[in-house]
């Protein structure tokens, strides 16, 4: 994650990139808007910025996994980003998911389920059941079923940064955000 602050009139854009980890070879997670970056734009002393779920600046990831399983998504992020001379900027991330089989990001955002503030993980079925009982578990792989079907869910990351302290030093502010996606135990 990289944040740059300037106390002058010019400042670089504030982009946060994420490292992701999938708990299985059959799970993939890929940033699909701006390669999954969260873009807060420019920051100045005394200013806070927020990105909402509906914002075009929210980070969007597409998760592909085997149909019929539940996924656990965990996100661990710092409460502040650290910069020059141990200066910090308050930082808070939230996340939501859409598992209703929507065909595009816009539709998925309108049906997204927000994870409660303070929660760092959530377990959900890869594909939400619209009625009745869930489908039976997938068939074991064998000569008749050599490949399992896959489905997609969307993960949205958004949040706030700041306020930037009036004595904030210009420079790079960093922190690590870990996102893990794995089949539920």
- In tens, the pLDDT along 23-48 reads 567 899 888 877 677 777 778 889 89
Confidence band of 171 (pLDDT split at 50, 70, 90): confident
pLDDT the model gives residue 176: 81
Cis peptide before 163, with omega less than 30 degrees from 0?
yes
**What mean pLDDT do residues 82-111 have?**
90
Task: Check pLDDT > 60 for residue 157.
Answer: yes
Residue 121 belongs to a domain: yes
Residue 141 belongs to a domain: no
| Domain total in the chain | 1
Residue 132 belongs to a domain: no
- For residue 108, the enclosing domain spans 2-126+146-183
Residue 161 belongs to a domain: yes
Task: Check pLDDT > 70 for residue 117.
Answer: yes
Taking alpha carbons only, the member of 52, 61, 66 closest to residue 147 is 66
User: Buried (b) or exposed (e) across 126-158, using 16+ Cβ within 10 A?
Assistant: bbeeeeeeeeeeeeeeeeeeeeeeebbbbbbbb
Of residues 143 and 66, the one with the higher pLDDT is: 66
Q: Structure pTM?
A: 0.81
pLDDT the model gives residue 6: 36
What percent of the chain has a predicted confidence (pLDDT) above 90?
Answer: 30
- Which residues are bridge partners to 70 per DSSP? 125
Residue 70 belongs to a domain: yes
Residue 85 belongs to a domain: yes
Q: Among positive and negative, which fits the CA dihedral 31, 41, 3, 83?
A: negative
pLDDT the model gives residue 132: 63
Residue 118 belongs to a domain: yes
Residue 137 belongs to a domain: no
């Amino acid at each position: 994650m990289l944040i740059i602050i300037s106390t002058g009139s010019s400042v670089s854009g504030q982009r946060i990139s994420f490292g992701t980890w999938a708990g299985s070879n059959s799970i993939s997670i890929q940033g699909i808007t701006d390669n999954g970056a969260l873009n807060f734009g420019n920051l100045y002393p005394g200013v806070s910025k927020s990105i909402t779920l509906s914002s075009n600046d929210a980070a969007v990831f597409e998760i592909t996994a085997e149909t019929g399983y539940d996924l656990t998504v965990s996100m661990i992020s710092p409460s502040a980003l650290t910069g020059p001379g141990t200066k910090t900027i308050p930082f808070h991330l939230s996340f939501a998911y859409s598992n209703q089989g929507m065909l595009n990001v816009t539709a998925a955002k309108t049906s997204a389920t927000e994870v409660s503030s303070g929660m760092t993980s959530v377990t959900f079925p890869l594909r939400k059941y619209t009625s009745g009982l869930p489908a039976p578990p997938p068939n074991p792989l064998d000569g008749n079923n050599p490949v399992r079907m896959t489905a997609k869910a969307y993960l949205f990351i958004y949040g706030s940064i700041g306020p930037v302290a009036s004595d904030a030093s210009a420079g790079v502010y960093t922190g690590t955000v870990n996102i893990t996606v794995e089949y539920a135990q």
